[in-house]
Chain A
Amino acid sequence: MDRRRFLQLSTVSILSLTFAPGLLKQSFGASKLDEELQKRLGVSLSQIKESPEVKLQAPTIAESGANVPVSVESDIPVDKVDSVWIFVDNNPVPWITDIKLSPMNGRVYFATRIKMGQTSNVRAILKMKDGSYLMATKEVKVTVGGCG
């Protein structure tokens, strides 16, 4: 092997070693969320559209992942909404909770506190009565994880 060929090969291997773990982890995380969405809602992430009508409130930085307050609100009439779902992409179990709404709720509002293992996207998904889905996403940076 001449010197030039050796250098080329080593560059390629170093690059692949540097980037491969990140790539693997990313695709694994996405598929886990997708799996959970398929199991719980029967749709994949690409079929759910982001909507400014869903308002998700969560801290930008959470000091403790054990207790992260989130709330979901919307001005969409409550009789058009079936349920509200909360997912966290990078948690061991991405599904956190869901709440079924009724006209007796008066409006779309749901607040709770969740656990987060690490920095991740938090997603609030509204399941509409017509079978469509609306979503709001927010990244929450976690300093100390709360999933053991």
Chain B
Amino acid sequence: MAVGAGILRVPKEAKKGEIVKVQMVITHPMEPGTRKDPQTGQIIPAYHLTKLEVLFNDKTVSVVDMGGGVSANPFIGLTLKVDESGIVKIAYEDNKGGKWEKTAEIRVV
């Protein structure tokens, strides 16, 4: 998969006031910038996600800051209290200026 592609997983339906899990996996090499290429001995330049924002109906839920210490193709899980139907959005960027977004819908039943 291409760098920056993401999977965002939320339950389709929730009860009002329920706390649900929001889980995501993003395709990214997460190169920390401290590793050396074993063949050339050159330091591999840093290339990793720096910030990921989770929004629900355009209100910020959480902001994750990360560095090269997070594993390749990072997985992030957090919780969300659902008071109304709406759209979960994740917006993330890397240190080379790449920016991506991904959305999923939760319906209150």
Q: Contact: A148 with B36, CB < 8 Å?
A: yes
When distances are taken between beta carbons in the complex, the residues of chain B under 8 Å from A144 are: none
Q: Contact: B61 with A112, CB < 8 Å?
A: no
Answer whether residue A58 sits at the interface, using C-beta atoms and an 8 A cutoff.
no
Interface positions of A from 44 to 86, Cβ below 8 Å from B:
66-69, 71
Bound CA span A69–B80, Å: 20
Give the nearest-CB partner of A106 in chain B: B81
Task: Give per-residue flags for A94-106: 1 if the beta carbon is below 8 A from chain B beta carbons, else 0.
Answer: 0111111111111
When distances are taken between beta carbons in the complex, the residues of chain B under 8 Å from A141 are: none
- Secondary structure of the B contact surface, majority rule: strand
Answer whether residue A30 sits at the interface, using C-beta atoms and an 8 A cutoff.
no
Q: How many residues of chain A have a CB within 8 Å of chain B? A: 32
| Nearest Cβ on chain B to A91's Cβ, whole angstroms | 6
When distances are taken between beta carbons in the complex, the residues of chain B under 8 Å from A114 are: 69-71
| Nearest Cβ on chain A to B78's Cβ, whole angstroms | 6
Question: For B36, B44, B70, which residue has the most chain A Cβ atoms within 10 angstroms?
Answer: B70
Answer whether residue A41 sits at the interface, using C-beta atoms and an 8 A cutoff.
no
Per a CB cutoff under 8 Å, which of A68, A111, A112, A148 touches B35? A148
Per a CB cutoff under 8 Å, which of B23, B34, B69 touches A97? B69
Bound CA span A66–B68, Å: 11
Task: Give per-residue flags for B59-86: 1 if the beta carbon is below 8 A from chain A beta carbons, else 0.
Answer: 1111111111111101111111100000
Bound CA span A96–B48, Å: 12
Give the nearest-CB partner of A91 in chain B: B69
| Nearest Cβ on chain A to B28's Cβ, whole angstroms | 12
Bound CA span A98–B61, Å: 14
Q: Which residues of B contact A (CB under 8 A)?
A: 19, 21, 23, 30, 32, 34-36, 44, 56, 59-72, 74-81
Known: A103-B81, A110-B78, A148-B32. 18 other contacts (CB 8 A): A88-B69, A91-B69, A96-B66, A97-B70, A98-B65, A99-B64, A100-B62, A105-B62, A106-B79, A107-B79, A110-B77, A111-B75, A111-B76, A111-B77, A114-B70, A115-B32, A115-B70, A148-B35
- 7 A-B pairs closest in CB distance: A148-B35, A106-B81, A111-B77, A106-B19, A96-B69, A113-B71, A97-B66
